[in-house]
Amino acid sequence: MPGQVGEIGVGQPWRTWPVFAEKSPDFLDAVASYLEQLDRLSPQQRQDLALFKAAELVNALIQMRERKQAADRVGPAVAQASFALVRAAIRDRQIALAGGERTDLREPVLRDLIDEGCRLFHAGKKDPDLYQRALALSAAQCIALHEQLKVALERYASDSGLELPESLREAVQQAFIEPYRRP
């Protein structure tokens, strides 16, 4: 809903949420700046971006667990398939789901947000300040897309073709959705 993020931005109460307790003023300012951009998204753009964000968050958690050889990892085949799905979404500007359904990510505003996240993430591997900006963009997306993310996560989990255990979906919910819920 246009204006929804703007309502969060008024007085910026999100700055006091526990997830931001240890964050620097520069980080919080970057989140605020990204929230202004996200506020301009239409409801359909929010829904489409939320589906991409859900795929990205699932993939991030899978890749972290694989690297750490965590006991609850999904295995290299699912990790590679998850990575391939997200990479294809970035490259092809669409998310292909089971049954042939496709979510279009070609609109310039969506393309620019996704490209900015990728650019910051990759550049952030060598520059801690840019990595913090990537995290700020991700946090702003989690705030702005909060109402759409849970549905998008379930849709992605059921229609991506990946075998994602319930525990993984719950972990994404706990790590990336719940902390960004309005109190």
Alpha helices in the chain (DSSP H): 4-9, 25-38, 43-67, 76-92, 108-123, 128-144, 146-159, 166-172
| pLDDT given at position 101 | 85
Q: What is the torsional sign of CA 142, 146, 151, 154?
A: positive
Q: 53: which residues sit within 8 A by CB, 6+ positions away?
A: 141, 142, 145, 149, 152
Length of the chain: 183
Q: What is the pLDDT of residues 86-109, one digit of tens each?
A: 999 999 999 988 878 899 999 999
Could you give the percent of the chain with pLDDT greater than 90?
A: 79
11: phi > 0 → left, psi -120 to 50 → alpha, else beta; which? left
| pLDDT given at position 182 | 76
Q: What is the torsional sign of CA 95, 156, 46, 123?
A: negative
CA distance 141 to 53: 8
CA distance 99 to 35: 34
Q: What is the pLDDT of residues 30-39, one digit of tens each?
A: 999 999 999 9
